[in-house]
């Protein structure tokens, strides 16, 4: 079973944009890919449209219902904070097991590639005492690191890569997602990263990217 954990150098880097793009590409190729967003914060139950789970369901061609929401994003919290803090605001103390349980269940029942979107950046707290990186390490599935071309992205990317490598979870690929209003040229940022990360697959994603075939291949989702 192919699976991929989608993490990033930080929040708003394009994890959902890229996960949805991969889902559409794979499903368009007849591959029954599905997504899971185990924990989502900043989720307004009165207006779920446009949320990460809603966008992922749309990319899967599924209607937004309470059942489909429960399946794709079982842990949903209102405050636009890191998951631990958003959960605590509702009197919930998230454990690592709370996050791993739905991931393991989705992995066990998957009939095609499963794309799991993290929350925030690679070391954002996902549960009490556990970052996103701890979740990746516990799941033991390949991870995609989404980075950007915003000023400071190279340092964030190299830091994230080093942390992932140290935890034995070096990313299988890095998606260099062109940031809005980037002050660094897209190609220049990619070339700079390549010089520091020789041999690491870097896949450019332009603004409004439509072709997710190279990224799907780089992540081994087409095999």
Ligand X SMILES: Nc1ncnc2c1ncn2[C@@H]1O[C@H](COP(=O)(O)OP(=O)(O)OP(=O)(O)O)[C@@H](O)[C@H]1O
> What does each C-alpha distance from 54 to 64, 191, 216 come to in angstroms?
6, 35, 22
With CB under 5 to 8 Å by kind, the binding choice for 14 among Mg ion, ligand X, none is: ligand X
Does residue 76 bind Mg ion (CB under 5 A)? no
CB of 20 to ligand X, least distance (A): 8
**Residue 97, both tokens:** 């097991």
Q: Which residues of 87-125 are buried (b: 16+ CB within 10 A; e: fewer)?
A: bbeeeeebebebbbebbeebbeebeebbbbbbbbbbbbb
Nearer to Mg ion, 15 or 76 (CB): 15
CB of 198 to ligand X, least distance (A): 25
Distance CA 135, CA 205 (A): 26
Among 2, 15, 37, 156, which one carries the catalytic annotation? Answer: 37
34, 52, 86, 139: which one binds Mg ion (CB under 5 A):
52
Is residue 37 annotated as part of the catalytic site, yes or no?
A: yes
CB-nearest residue to Mg ion: 16
Rg for the chain, CA atoms, rounded = 16
Q: What is each CA distance from 217 to 172, 184, 204, in whole angstroms?
A: 11, 27, 13
Sign of the CA dihedral with 86 first, then 156, 199, and 205 last: positive
Does position 17 bind ligand X by CB under 6 A?
yes
Task: Tell whether residue 168 is a contact of ligand X (CB under 6 A).
Answer: no
Per-residue contact track with ligand X, 82 to 121, x per CB under 6 A? --------------------------------------x-
Residue 7 is a binding residue for ligand X (CB under 6 A): no
Whether the CB-CB separation of 153 and 179 falls below 8 Å is answered with yes
62 binds ligand X, rule: CB under 6 A: no
Q: Which is nearer to Mg ion, 68 or 222 (CB)?
A: 68
Task: Compare residues 6 and 114 and give the one whose CB is closer to ligand X.
Answer: 6
| Burial of 200 from C-beta contacts in 10 A (0-12 / 13-18 / 19+) | middle
Reported as type and span, the H/E element at residue 216 is helix 213-218
Give the separation between CA 201 and CA 197, rounded to whole angstroms.
9
The entry of Mg ion, ligand X, none near residue 30 (CB within 5 to 8 angstroms by kind) is none
The site map against ligand X for 41-60 (x = CB under 6 A) is -----------x--------
Residue 15 interacting with ligand X (CB under 6 A)? yes
- Could you list the active site residues? 37
Please give the residue ranges that form the binding site for ligand X (CB under 6 A).
8, 11-17, 52, 120, 177-178, 205, 207-209
């Amino acid at each position: 079973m192919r699976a991929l954990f989608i993490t990033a150098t930080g929040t708003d880097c394009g994890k959902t944009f890229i996960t949805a793009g991969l889902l559409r590409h794979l499903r368009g190729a007849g591959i029954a890919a599905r997504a899971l967003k185990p924990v989502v914060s900043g989720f307004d139950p009165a207006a779920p449209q446009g949320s990460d789970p809603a966008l992922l369901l749309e990319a899967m061609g599924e209607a937004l219902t309470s059942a489909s929401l429960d399946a794709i994003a079982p842990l949903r919290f209102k405050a636009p904070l890191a998951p631990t803090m958003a959960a605590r605001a509702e009197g919930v103390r998230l454990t690592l097991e709370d996050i791993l349980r739905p991931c393991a269940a989705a992995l066990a029942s998957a009939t095609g590639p499963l794309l799991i979107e993290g929350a925030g950046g690679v070391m954002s707290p996902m549960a009490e005492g556990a970052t996103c990186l701890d979740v990746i390490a516990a799941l033991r599935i390949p991870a995609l690191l989404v980075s950007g071309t915003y000023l400071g992205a190279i340092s964030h990317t190299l830091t994230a890569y080093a942390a992932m490598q140290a935890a034995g979870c070096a990313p299988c690929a890095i998606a260099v997602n062109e940031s809005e209003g980037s002050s660094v040229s897209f190609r220049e940022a990619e070339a700079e990263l390549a010089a520091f990360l020789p041999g690491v697959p870097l896949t450019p994603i332009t603004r409004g990217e439509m072709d997710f075939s190279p990224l799907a291949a780089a992540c081994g989702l087409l095999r």
